[in-house]
Structure 1
Amino acid sequence: MIIVTGATGLLGRQIVERLLTRVPAGQVGVSVRDPGKAQAFADQGVRVRRGDFAEAATLAHAFEGATQVLIVSIDALGEEAVRRHRAAIDAAVAAGARRVLYTSHMAAGASSHFQACRDHAATEEALRKCGVPFTSLRNGFYAANAVRLLAQAMRSDHLVLPADGPVSWTSHEDLADAAAAVLAGEGRFDGPTPPLTAAEALTFDDVARIAGEVTGRTVTRVVAPDDAFRRQLTEHGVPDEYAGHLLGMFAAARAGEFATVDPTLATLLGHAPTPLSAVVRKDLATV
């Protein structure tokens, strides 16, 4: 049985939906903190069990009978994130899974400027030591984050952000399709995958231009000094830790950490990845 964690989240849900087009529902299980939110999957014949990375006993039950476990990374930072990912890895191994998969990030590395990439690197190290084959899906940067950062620009027509660098913005839908393909084709990748990215890397100058083309308005890109940007965030109630995390993203982009473009995602999909312009066009109305 293929187990997917976090199956009621934005990425996990789409992975399961796409996996169900490739394998019978009876071969799929989900591990979720609130089984009630996964009723739609249960109605299709998917095994739904409660699993919480902070409660090892629940994971033993949720992962029972697993042949593969896909651990969808949690929305946390630092040691907390790594500790919970390790708990899930240990539970997958204890359940007898013959492969553990994990949603990592392009540029995962211990020396990254971006805290999330350092956390992913630490989790990948735990995977290397877990004793069973693993696959680390090195996902491109979520295009949804670029759309989120456009929210303020749509109110003022000014995209005010720190200096950045090119980023391979990649859609959740494409990454979900790729994860489902890897799960259905067990053993297709051993260890970290190549970066799973869209076909181009874009700066926020490009993002502003795209937003203008989509909306018919002039969106001006304004570079804000890092200190001023951080101060503005904290003055508006953003926790200092998160403000620092966001600035780390821009520092990593400036260092070229997210500029790689790789054909692997297109190969898995069987078609060109979704361009950022299409994501912006679809999602901009929701920000």
Structure 2
Amino acid sequence: MIVVTGATGALGGATVENLLTRIPASQLGVSVRDVNKARHFADRGVLVRQGSYEDPAALRASFAGAEQVLLVSGNDPAADVVALHRNAIDAAVAAGVKRILYTSQQGAADGPYPPGRLHAATEAILADSGIAWTALRCGFFGSLDQLLGPWQRTGVIAAPADGPIPWIERADIAEAVAVILAGDDAFDGPITLTTPHPVTLDDLAGFASQLTGRDITRVVVDDEQWVTEQTANGLPDHLARMTLAMFQAVRTGYFAEADPLLTELLGREPRHAVDQLADAIT
């Protein structure tokens, strides 16, 4: 049996949907904080159990009978995320799980981007766990609007100096993770899942201009000025500075390395950032 955590979230839920096209529902379970939110999976035959990273005993019970567990990483900035991940890893070990797959991040290391340090610490716990593990080092994914700001209204992409960003689509990551979970190939240790075509904000401004027929301009904003503007618009200071750290990392080429594995798993190229940009245009 495969058990997926965070299955009521965007990535975990999409992974479950992909798994349901590959394996019988009877071979699939989910560990969720609120079982009522996973009723749509239970109605399709998926085993739904209550579990959260804050409750090791419930988590261990939710992993019972699982050969593989997908641990979707936590992202609460107010929580001790590494300690919560340790709870989940310990619970999987205690439940007799054979392999843990963990949603990490490309470039996970004690480097310039703070979340990368948290992922690296979790990978170290996995390495010491005594069971097989796979760290799914994903490129950046999510809404492009988070990266580009209100460009459709202003005609300007205003952000700090950047560099190549491996912006991918969550749906592609979910599909690839399902392929790994349902497949026969074992991937040990860290693997990188990212696009073969990293893009810069200059690239995205050019794509946006072509798609809209407007002149979309890329403007480089001073780091501290950008933080001040973001906080003035309501973004908490710690989130603004974490995003700034991402820009500072990418401008040094920290996330520029491409890897072919995601393309191989999908059997096609991942959707390009220009496709995602087209989807976002209103």
Greater shift in the superposed pair: 267-276 or 184-193: 184-193
**CA-to-aligned-CA distance 1:256-279 (integer Å, 9 cap, x gap):** 111111111111111111111111
Residue 127 of structure 1 is matched in structure 2 by 126
For 2:48 and 2:280, how far apart are their aligned partners in 1? 30
What is the CA–CA distance in structure 1 between the aligned matches of 2:195 and 2:61, rounded to whole Å? 37
Structure 1 unaligned residues grouped into runs of 5+: none
1:178 corresponds in structure 2 to 176
In the TM superposition, 1:245-260 aligns within 5 A as: 245-260=242-257
Cα separation, 2, equivalents of 1:186 and 1:131: 21
Q: Separation in 1 of the partners of 2:226 and 2:149? A: 16
**Deviation of the 1:106 alpha carbon:** 0.6
Alignment of 1:8-157 (within 5 A): 8-77=8-77, 80-110=80-110, 112-142=111-141, 144-157=142-155
Contact 2:223/2:244 (8 A) holds in 1 = yes
Q: Quick one: structure 1 residues 97 and 85, their matched pair in 2 at CA, closer, same or farther if it must change by over 3 Å?
A: same
**What are structure 2's unaligned runs of at least 5 residues?**
none
SS of alignment partner, residue 29 of structure 1 = strand
Distance 1:186 1:52, change over 3 A: farther
Compute the displacement of 1:132 (Å).
Answer: 0.2
* Aligned counterpart for 1:202 among listed residues 180, 191, 199: 199
Q: In structure 1, how many angstroms separate the alpha carbons of the residues matched to 2:263 and 2:52? A: 33
TM-score, structure 2 length as denominator? 0.96
Once the 2 structures are TM-superposed, how far is the Cα of residue 67 of structure 1 from its aligned partner?
0.8
Instruction: Give me the whole-angstrom Cα distance separating, in 2, the residues matched to 1:158 and 1:214.
Output: 14
One-letter code aligned to 2:196: A
Give the whole-Å Cα distance in 2 for the aligned partners of 1:90 and 1:15.
Answer: 23
Q: How many angstroms does 1:53 deviate by?
A: 0.6
Question: Among residues 164, 169, 188, which one is paired with 1:190 in the alignment?
Answer: 188
Partners of 1:95 and 1:34 lie apart in 2 by 21
* SS class of match (1:182): helix
Secondary structure of residue in 2 paired with 1:138 = strand
1:82-106 CA-partner distances (Å, limit 9, x unpaired) = 1111111111111110001100111
Distance (whole Å) between structure 1 residues aligned to residue 128 and residue 206 of structure 2: 45
Compared with structure 1, are the counterparts of its residues 115 and 168 closer, same or farther at alpha carbon in structure 2 (3 Å cutoff)?
A: same
Partner of 2:207: helix, strand, or coil?
helix
Structure 1 length-normalised TM: 0.94
State the distance in 1 between where 2:78 and 2:85 align: 11
Deviation (angstroms), 1:186: 4.8
C-alpha RMSD of matched pairs (Å): 1.4
1:69 to partner: Cα distance:
0.5
Aligned length: 282
| Identical aligned residues as a percent | 46
2:271 alignment partner, one of 267, 271, 274: 274
Instruction: Determine if contact 1:168/1:200 at 8 Å carries over to the other structure.
Output: yes
Is the contact between residue 148 and residue 158 of structure 2 (CA under 8 Å) also seen in structure 1? no
1:123-180: CA deviation from partner (whole Å, max 9, x where unpaired) = 10010011101000111111x3433233411121111100001011111111111100
Distance 2:262 2:89 in 1: 25
- What is residue 230 of structure 2 aligned with on the other side? 233
Q: Secondary structure at the match of 2:150?
A: helix
209-218 vs 42-51, greater mean Cα deviation: 209-218
